[in-house]
Structure 1
Amino acid sequence: MNWSSSVLCTLSSDTEPCILVTFDQAKYIFNVGANTNRAFLQSRNNWRRTKGIFLTQVRTQRSAGLPGLLMSFADADIPQLDIVGPPGTKHLMASMRTYVYRDKMPVIPTETPFHSEPSSSPQPVFMDQNLTVYSIPIHPSSSSFTVSEDSPSSSKRKREPSPDVSSKKIITDSGSLIARFPSDKSLEEILQSPEFLASPLSPSYLQGGHAQEWRDIMVDTMFPASKAEKEKRAKDMVRPKADGEAKGNRKKEKGKQKVVEERDSRNPDDYRRTRSPPGFHAQLPKYVHPDGNRTLDHAAAYIAVGPRIRGKFDAAKATELKIPNGKLRVKLTQGEPITFTVNESGTEIERTVRPEEIIGPSEVPGVLIIADVPTPDHIPSLTAAFSESSFYSKFRSTRPDDLQQYVVRVIYHLCGEGVLEDERYIEFMRGFGPQVNHVVASRDYCPNPVTFTSAAYHQLRLSKLDSDIFIVPQFSLTPKKDVHAISGLPPNVTLMEANTITNMRPPSAPTKQNFALELDRFHPAYAQGMELTPGMQECFEKAKAEVAAFIERSERPGMPGGDVRIVTLGTGSAVPSKYRNVSGTAIMIPGYGNVLLDCGEGTWGQLARHFGEDESSPDNVWRFLRDLRCLFVSHVHGDHHMGVAQLLAQRKKLDPPPSQPLYLVTIRAIHIYLRELSDIQDLGLFDNTENGVITVLSPALHWRGSDTYPESGMWQIGGTEPWLDINESKKHGRDLCRALGLKSFRTVDMRHRTRCYGAVIESDNGWSIAFSADTMPVDSLVYAGQGATVLIHEATMADDQEEMARKKAHSTLGQALTIGRRMNAKNILLTHFSARYPKIPHYQVKSADGQTARMGETIIGQADECAVAVAFDHARMSVDSLWKISFYLSALEQSYLDTVTEDAEEGGEENGEAPMEVNVV
C-alpha cells in the first residue's frame, strides 16, 4: 500500500497551506483556507474519495474554504465525511446553516480535546484503516486554564445543564419564561416536548452541554443524513460485525443511497423555510472556549500515523510446514497462531505455528506531522507535548526501540511571524531524526508566486491588448527574507511550494510534481516576455484600430462619474472556475473611498493579486482596504458572501487602523452569521470606535422609503434583535452617503430563490450605478435605477436556457440587456456567468430583423447608444472606458480560444462551452 502527502497550495496572496494525504482509495485534507476549491481546479489533484478534513484552527485563514468545499463534495456524491478541528469547530459549522444544506452526505464533526497537560495515553481523534490521527493542543504560554474531562470539548463529555436563570429557566429576548430544562434530559428531548413546542426558543441563552447539543442539531439539520450515520457508528462501537454483515450493510446502504438519489432534489431555500427546527434562524449560543476566552488564539497540531504494513508471507515455508490453504493461512496474516494436524511418516501429529515463523517483520508505520504555530508564545505548548508525554516523545526519539514503533517522514511547519527564527523552535526541529523532511510555510521566508496560473497567463496576454484594463496579477518570486540566513536549522528543510509531493511509502524527499511545471505557462512567459502569434497580433491590432477609429469619429461627450473605476474581481456564478472567481465587484470613487458589491470566497485574494501587497506602492491592497467605506452583500447564497469574514479579519489587522468606519449593508441572516463567527475570531463588528464595522439592514434602505419593515411574507425582517432598529439603520445609511459623497444609497427587492436585494448608488455629482445581484428580470430595478450611468447586471445563462434561468431565478444575457434598455442605462456591464461558460460568453446577437452580428457591431454604432461590456476577472475600467470592451470582443474570443487549445494540449481544461445566442429586440 503506497501513500503520499502533498501540498495543494501554500502561503500566498490568495491561498493558505493545504496538505493532502493520498491513498489509493482515500484522501484526507489538512486545512481548507479560501480558494482551496479553486486550487483543486488549477492542479491535477482532485478531491474525489475524500474521507476526512482536519483543521488546525477555526479562524478564517484555515477554514474559509470549508463551506464551498462541503457543497462541492456533496454535489459530487462523496459518501460521507469526517471533519476534525479544535474547539469551536461545531460552532463554525453551525454558523453556516442558512446557506449550506445537502441532504445526501453525512458530515460528522469532532472537536479535539483541549487539555492543559500533555497526555501520556491520548486517544486518537480519528481512525480508519489508513490513518490514525492524534491531536496536540497549541496555546499561547500566557493562557492559564483548567479543562476537566467533562469539558464540552472532551470526547467523553458529560452533559452540562444550562446555567440557572432561576430554576434552570430559558428566557426569550422579551424575557418571558418558555421552558424548563431538566438536567437529566437532552436538549433534543426537550425540543420535542409538548411544553416546548408551544413556545419559541432563544438559543443564545444556552450554555455548556446544552449549547453544544444545539450546535449538533444545527449541523444535523444542514446534513440530515448525519444522524443515521452517527447512530450506526454508535452501534458498531457496542458490538463487532458478524461475518458477512459488512457486505450485507454495503448492499443495504447502496439501496438506501439509490432511494435518496431518486428523490426530487429540494430547493435548499424552500427547505430552510419549511423544514427548519424552531430557533433555526435565531442567533447561536455564544461560544466560549474551554479556557474561558471568546477570542480564540489557539491551534492544534496533528500527528497522522499510517498503516503498519505486515511482512511478506513466506509461501514456500508454509508449504514446507504443510499449512493448509485457506482460513488457517489467513489467521496467520491476521497475527493469530494456528494449530493443525499433519501426517508425518504415517503418524498424525499436531503442529502449532506462530505468525512470526511464517511472516516477515512488518514495516514500521510512516508518520507525518502538521504543526501550526501562530506566534512564538505558542512554542512552549508544542515542545512540552513532545518532551513531557511519554507517548508523543516517541515520535521525536532516535532510540532504536522507538524507531521500531513509528518513523516520522515529514513535518509541515506552519509558522507565524517570528516563529521560524526562534531558538526554541530551531531546537525543536533539530530534535527529530535525520530521516525527517521539514517543509516550512512562513510569510517572511516563502515567495509569493501566482497560484492560478492559467487565468494569469491569459491576463498577461490580454495586457498586450489594453494594459489599462487588463491588469497582470501581482506576485513575487523573491521572499522577504532568506531562510538560509537562519543558523542552526536542520539540513532537510525546504520551503513549502504548491504541488510538492512527499512519498510516505516508499519514502522519498519532497519533489515538485511534474504536472505543475507543465501547466505553469505564466511565470516563464512573464520572465521571458510574451510573444504573440502573428494571428493574435493581427487580431489585437485590428481591435485597437477599431477603438481608435471610434474615438476619432465619436461625438460621445464625457459623462458624470467618468473617472469612477469599476474592478470586476469575480465574475462567475455559484462555484469558482479555472478562469472566473465567484461574485465580487469593487467601485472606486476618487476622493471618497471604495464600495464592494458582494464578496464571494476568495475576494480578498483577488484584491491582493490585483493591487499587490507592497506597502511602498501608493495603490496597494492595504490602501484599498483602508479606504473601503461600504460592503454591500445582496443575499445569503454562499457565492456572494463567503469572503466577507476573511475580508473583515484582514481589515482588523490594519496597523494603524482605518480612520473611518466600514458600513456593512446586508440582510439579517448574514449579520447574524458574522456575529456568530465573531465568537471565534474578532472581525471588528463590536469595536466601540469610529473606525469599526457598522450594521446597516438592507430593507431599511429600500428604494420606496418605507418607515417600517414588512411584517409578513418573504420580506419580513425575521427577528427582534435590538440592532435591527430601522431608524438606526437609516441613520447609518445617511452617514454612509456623507462618507462617499452620495445623494442616496438605496436597496431594491429582487426576484430570486431567497430574500435578495440589489442596490442603486446615486452620487451628488450626477452619476449613478445600479447593481442587480442575483435576479430574474424585475421591474423594480428598472424603476429604481432609471437613467443609471452604469447597470451592473447578472447574465448567468444564454437565451436558449430561459426555462432553466427561470427555475433558478436568474437572467439570460438577452433579458439583462432588455432591463438595461428599459432603464435607459448609459452603460451595461454583464457579469455572473454560469460555470458552463468559464472563460468568455461566446455569443451571437440576433436583432429584430433576424440579422446576426457580434455584440459590438449591434450595440455600439451611434454616439448616443448604450455601451455594453462583458466582465472579466481583474478587469479595471473607468466609467468612461467601459465601451471599449465591445470592440475587443473578437480579440478576447480569439485569445480565449488559443488558451483553451493550449490547455487541452497540455491535459488541462477542454473547450466544452457552446455559443450564447442573445436575442436583442
Structure 2
Amino acid sequence: MWLPMLKLQRIVPHGPLRSLTNHCIRMSSTVSTAAAEQTPPAKYERQPNVLRKKLSSVVPGSVNLQVLGAGANGAPSAVYLFTDQSRYLFNCGEGTQRLAHEHKTRLSRLEQIFVTRNTWTAVGGLPGLALTIQDAGVRNVGLHGPPHLDTMLQSMRRFVVLKNLQMQTIDSTLGVPFEDSILTVQPVVLRSEQQPLQPILSYICKLKPRPGALNLVKCVEAGVPPGPLLGQLKNGQDVTLPCGTVVHSVDVTEPAETALSFVFIDVPSLDYLESLKAQSEQYKQLANSELTEVALVVHFSPPELTAHAEYLDFMQTNFSAGTQHIYLNSHLNRFSGYAAAHRIQYQLHQLAPRFFPLLAEAAELQLSCPSNTLSHSLKKTKLDNDVEEQRENKLNESESVNAKEVKQQQVRQQQGFVSMSSFHLRPKKGLDRTLESKLTPEEYIKETHAVPGFSELLTQLQSETAETLKIESKSYPRIIFLGTGSCIPNKTRNVSSILIQTAAEAFMLFDCGEGTHGQIVRLFGRERAREVMLQLQAVYVSHLHADHHIGLIALLRERQRLEPTSPLLLLAPRQIEPWLNFYNRQIEPIADAYTLMGNGELLEQPLAGERVEQLGIASIATCLVRHCPHAFGISLTLQAQHEGEPIKLTYSGDTMPCADLVELGRNSTVLIHEATMEDDLEEEARIKTHSTISQAIQQGRDMQAKHTILTHFSQRYAKCPRLPSTEDMQHVAIAFDNMQVAVEDLQHYHKLYPALLAMYAEYTEELEQRAVKRELKL
C-alpha cells in the first residue's frame, strides 16, 4: 500500500488528494509503530507475565506443530505446538524433556499441557518436565486431562518438589473448552463400558482466524485518526472514535483467513471404538463447516487400532481427502529421535567396539531401508511429498470418490514420522520434513578424525588392544550402563540406571531413572529387549529422588504386558509404597507385577536363598549412605568367581564419602561409585551431598576394591568429566551410556584414556577454562 501512495505523492504534489495521501502515510507509520510495539523487546524474555499480558490480544503470525516424539523404540508420543508467543504440549510420556533438550525446543515458555489419558504412556514425563521448566523460570502451567491428575501430582510431592511452579489441573471430562487469544481447544470424551472410570480424551483445536490487512483508505473514510486505534483495528478489535462513532474492524480490513482446525485422537483399545463412532456427528460438522478447514489429524492411538477397518472407516467418513494425518506409535516410525546418543556411541565405538557396541536401533534402521544410507532413510523432503501428491492426483478418474479416499488414506498412513517432523499451520505450508532427526554416522566419525593427533593415538590403541579385546567375553557379571548422568537427562547422558547381567539368562537393575525401558529397547533392539525384560528378575532403587526411580512404572507395565512367570523382586525404600499403591488403585493395576522388600530389611540380615540364587547371586546386603533420608548403598556377592574368589559388586547410589559404604564394600571386585562433581567443586558437592571424582576414587582405595567405575556425572560433563592425573586412573573407568564391561575388561580400560581425551580435547579444554575462571573469581 505504501509504494502506490508514495508514487501518488510525487505525481500530485498539492491539493486535497495530497492531504489524503499524507494522512495515510502518517497512519501507515502509526500502524508500523504499533506493530513494532507488539514485538516483545529482549528485556521481556525473563518476564513471562509481562510478555503474556502485552501479547494477550495479538493473533500470532506463525503457528507450527512439531512432533517431539513419534513413539518409536521407547520414545514418547508427544507433540509441541508453538506460536510467536505461546507454547502448548500434547501428551508427555517418559523422555519428552530429553527430546526437547536435544532438539532445542524451548520449554521455558510452555503454558498449557493437554493429556489424553492419565496413564503412564501420556504423563510419565511430567515429573521430570515439571522440575525442568521450574528451573527455567516457568511459574504457572495449566494441565488439562482426565480426573485424578491433581491427586497424581500430589502423590509425587515426596520426590518431585515444586517450590516455585504451580500446576493447575483442569478436568477436561467436564467438557469446558480452553480458550485464549490463539486457539480454542474443545475436549471430546471417550468412555468404555468395560472401564467406565477411565475416560480418554481427544481434542479439537481451532485457531483464531488472523484478521485481514488494514485498509488505510477505508480508515480515512471512516474518520479514524492516526494513533493506537489503528493497531486495535488491525488486530480485529472494534473501536469507538472520540465522537462516539463505532468503527468495526471488519469494515476497514481485508477478508480474514479461513480458520484452521486440527484434531488429536486417542483410542487406546477396541473398547473405546464405539464411543468414538458416537462422536461422528461432531467431527462431520467440523469437517463440513465453511468457517474452518480441518488441516490435520494427529493419532495417538496404538497401531492395532489405526489399522482396524472401523477406525479407518471413521477417518474417511468424517474427514475430507485434503486432511493430512500423522500417525504416532506407528510401526513405520522406526527412529526414536535420540540422534545424539548414536553420535557419541559411533565415536566411542572406534576406541573399543566391545565396550561401546553400536545401538541395535541403528542396525534395525539400516535393515528397514537397505537401499538407503541411514542419513537418507529417515529424511523425507517436501519435494517427496509433492511427488506423492501428484501420484494421488493421477488416480483413475473412473474410480469412485470413496475408492480414491481409501487409496489416499492408505498412502498417508504409509508414511513414517520422527522427531522434528513439522506441520506449518500459519502461514499454511503443510507438512515439513526438512528438519527431521536423522543419523549421519560418517559425519560423527569424521568429526573425531579432524582432531589433531587423534588418528595416531587411535591406531596405537588398536594395536595395543587388538589381541586382548579381540574375543568377546562370555563371563558374568556384565555391567551395562543405561544412564550415567545426574538430576535430569541431557542428550548424551540419561539419568541413573545400570543393568547387571548376573548370569546367562538373568538380569538385575540398579536404579531405574526416567526412560530406562527406552534405553534397553534402543541398545538391544526390539526382539532382544523383550528377552531382557523377561529375564529381568530384580530391581534395586537406592533412594527416592525422581532421577533414580521415575522409570519404574513403565518398566513394570512393560514386563507385565509380556506375562512373565514370576513377579519382579523390587528392593527399594519402603517409602515408595504409597506412590505405587496410589498408581495401582487410581490409574491402572500394577500390584501383581512386583514383590516389594524394603532396603532397610537387609541392613542386619543380607538376602540369600533360592530367590537370589536363580539370579546367580549368593547374597545381597545394604547400608545407609550420606545423601538424603532412606538412601542406601548395596553390595552383591555373586556365585561367579574371578581369580579364584567370588565376585563382589558394590554400588554407592548417591552419597558423600561414607565409612559405612567402605565397610559394606570391603574387598570388592568392582565398585560403582557416583562422581557428580569435579575436584575443585568439593564444597558444592558437600552442600548437595554428592562426591567429587577424587573422593569416589579414594572410596575405592579405602575399601580395597580391585576396580572402580565412576558414574552419575553432573550434566555439565555431557561428554567427558574433568579427570585427575592418569596415574590415579590406572584402576578406574568412567562410565558412558550404553557402555558394557565384564570384570576382566576393566584391567584394559585405562589404555583408552589418551585417545579418549584427545577425541574430546576441545570439550575438556573448555572445562579447564571454566575451572580457571572459577579460580580467578575466588
Match of 1:202 in 2: none
* Structure 2 counterpart of 1:9, from 58, 61, 69: 69
Does the 8 Å CA contact 1:565/1:878 hold for their aligned counterparts?
A: yes
Secondary structure in structure 1 of the residue aligned to 2:79: strand
Per the alignment, do residues 309 and 595 of structure 1 end up closer, same or farther by CA in structure 2, a change over 3 Å counting? same
1:883 Cα shift? 2.3
Separation of aligned partners in 1, 2:532 and 2:771: 35
Per the alignment, do residues 304 and 743 of structure 1 end up closer, same or farther by CA in structure 2, a change over 3 Å counting? same
Match of 1:621 in 2: 529
Match of 1:128 in 2: 180
Residue 643 (1) aligns with residue 551 (2) = yes
Match of 1:579 in 2: 492
1:79 Cα shift? 2.9
Match of 1:143 in 2: 194
Separation of aligned partners in 1, 2:407 and 2:187: 28
Residue 673 (1) aligns with residue 560 (2) = no
Match of 1:419 in 2: 305
1:734 Cα shift? 4.3
Per the alignment, do residues 319 and 330 of structure 1 end up closer, same or farther by CA in structure 2, a change over 3 Å counting? same
Match of 1:542 in 2: 460
Match of 1:737 in 2: 612
Residue 310 (1) aligns with residue 211 (2) = yes
* Structure 2 spans left out of the alignment, 5+ residues: 1-60, 370-376, 378-387, 393-402, 641-645, 773-778
Secondary structure in structure 1 of the residue aligned to 2:732: strand
Match of 2:322 in 1: 435
User: Aligned runs of 1:9-28 on 2, under 5 Å?
Assistant: 9-28=69-88
Secondary structure in structure 1 of the residue aligned to 2:319: coil
Separation of aligned partners in 2, 1:488 and 1:682: 38
Residue 366 (1) aligns with residue 260 (2) = yes
Secondary structure in structure 2 of the residue aligned to 1:32: coil
1:873 Cα shift? 0.5
Would you say how many aligned residue pairs link Structure 1 and Structure 2? Answer: 666
Match of 1:473 in 2: 359
1:335 Cα shift? 4.9
Separation of aligned partners in 1, 2:482 and 2:232: 61
* Structure 2 counterpart of 1:760, from 628, 635, 640: 635
1:804 Cα shift? 0.7
Per the alignment, do residues 593 and 548 of structure 1 end up closer, same or farther by CA in structure 2, a change over 3 Å counting? same
1:375 Cα shift? 2.5
1:870 Cα shift? 0.9
Residue 872 (1) aligns with residue 740 (2) = no
Residue 828 (1) aligns with residue 708 (2) = yes
After superposition, give the CA deviation of every residue in 1:730-783 in whole Å (9 maximum; x if it has no partner). 8x8645323324332111100013320110111244111111000001110111
Match of 2:621 in 1: 746
Separation of aligned partners in 2, 1:894 and 1:330: 58
Q: Which amino acid aligns with 1:807?
A: I
Normalization by structure 2: what TM-score? 0.79
Match of 1:886 in 2: 750
* Structure 2 counterpart of 1:612, from 525, 534, 542: 525
Does the 8 Å CA contact 1:841/1:916 hold for their aligned counterparts?
A: no
1:671 Cα shift? 2.4
Per the alignment, do residues 410 and 763 of structure 1 end up closer, same or farther by CA in structure 2, a change over 3 Å counting? same
* Structure 2 counterpart of 1:790, from 670, 678, 694: 670
From the two aligned structures, give the one with the greater helix fraction. Answer: 2
1:810 Cα shift? 0.4
Q: Which amino acid aligns with 1:420?
A: T
1:13 Cα shift? 1.2
* Structure 1 counterpart of 2:287, from 393, 396, 402: 396
Q: Which amino acid aligns with 2:492?
A: Y
Separation of aligned partners in 1, 2:469 and 2:336: 35
Does the 8 Å CA contact 2:334/2:416 hold for their aligned counterparts?
A: no
Separation of aligned partners in 1, 2:354 and 2:558: 27
1:325 Cα shift? 4.3
Separation of aligned partners in 1, 2:467 and 2:770: 28
Separation of aligned partners in 1, 2:463 and 2:544: 44
Does the 8 Å CA contact 1:420/1:442 hold for their aligned counterparts?
A: no
Does the 8 Å CA contact 1:32/1:64 hold for their aligned counterparts?
A: yes
Residue 653 (1) aligns with residue 571 (2) = no
User: Aligned runs of 1:152-301 on 2, under 5 Å?
Assistant: 291-292=196-197, 296=198, 298-301=199-202
Residue 100 (1) aligns with residue 1 (2) = no
Does the 8 Å CA contact 1:844/1:915 hold for their aligned counterparts?
A: no
Does the 8 Å CA contact 2:512/2:551 hold for their aligned counterparts?
A: yes
Does the 8 Å CA contact 2:265/2:297 hold for their aligned counterparts?
A: yes
* Structure 2 counterpart of 1:82, from 129, 142, 146: 142
Q: Which amino acid aligns with 2:476?
A: D
Match of 2:507 in 1: 594
Per the alignment, do residues 460 and 30 of structure 1 end up closer, same or farther by CA in structure 2, a change over 3 Å counting? same
Match of 2:661 in 1: 781
Separation of aligned partners in 1, 2:609 and 2:161: 36
1:479 Cα shift? 6.1
Q: Which amino acid aligns with 1:808?
A: K
After superposition, give the CA deviation of every residue in 1:613-642 in whole Å (9 maximum; x if it has no partner). 12xxxxx11111111111000111111011
Residue 696 (1) aligns with residue 597 (2) = yes
Separation of aligned partners in 2, 1:135 and 1:648: 30
Per the alignment, do residues 912 and 371 of structure 1 end up closer, same or farther by CA in structure 2, a change over 3 Å counting? farther
1:63 Cα shift? 1.4
Does the 8 Å CA contact 2:673/2:696 hold for their aligned counterparts?
A: yes
Separation of aligned partners in 2, 1:551 and 1:606: 25
Q: Which amino acid aligns with 2:219?
A: A
1:796 Cα shift? 0.7
Separation of aligned partners in 1, 2:771 and 2:668: 26
Separation of aligned partners in 2, 1:590 and 1:823: 26
Per the alignment, do residues 314 and 770 of structure 1 end up closer, same or farther by CA in structure 2, a change over 3 Å counting? same
Separation of aligned partners in 1, 2:347 and 2:252: 64
Separation of aligned partners in 2, 1:645 and 1:351: 63
Residue 386 (1) aligns with residue 294 (2) = no
Does the 8 Å CA contact 1:305/1:367 hold for their aligned counterparts?
A: yes
User: Aligned runs of 1:444-459 on 2, under 5 Å?
Assistant: 444=331, 446-459=332-345
Q: Which amino acid aligns with 2:110?
A: T
1:383 Cα shift? 3.0
Per the alignment, do residues 372 and 897 of structure 1 end up closer, same or farther by CA in structure 2, a change over 3 Å counting? farther
Match of 1:265 in 2: none
Secondary structure in structure 1 of the residue aligned to 2:614: helix
Q: Which amino acid aligns with 1:590?
A: A
Measured on the aligned residues, the alpha-carbon RMSD in Å equals 3.2
Residue 496 (1) aligns with residue 440 (2) = no
Secondary structure in structure 2 of the residue aligned to 1:29: strand
Separation of aligned partners in 1, 2:342 and 2:594: 33
Separation of aligned partners in 2, 1:859 and 1:578: 26
1:612 Cα shift? 1.0
Secondary structure in structure 2 of the residue aligned to 1:77: coil
Per the alignment, do residues 897 and 58 of structure 1 end up closer, same or farther by CA in structure 2, a change over 3 Å counting? farther
Separation of aligned partners in 2, 1:583 and 1:506: 42
Separation of aligned partners in 2, 1:304 and 1:632: 43
Per the alignment, do residues 665 and 324 of structure 1 end up closer, same or farther by CA in structure 2, a change over 3 Å counting? same
Per the alignment, do residues 735 and 433 of structure 1 end up closer, same or farther by CA in structure 2, a change over 3 Å counting? same
Normalization by structure 1: what TM-score? 0.68
Secondary structure in structure 2 of the residue aligned to 1:598: strand
Separation of aligned partners in 2, 1:51 and 1:696: 40
Does the 8 Å CA contact 2:485/2:715 hold for their aligned counterparts?
A: yes
Q: Which amino acid aligns with 2:121?
A: Q
Separation of aligned partners in 2, 1:895 and 1:335: 59
1:435 Cα shift? 3.4
1:357 Cα shift? 2.8
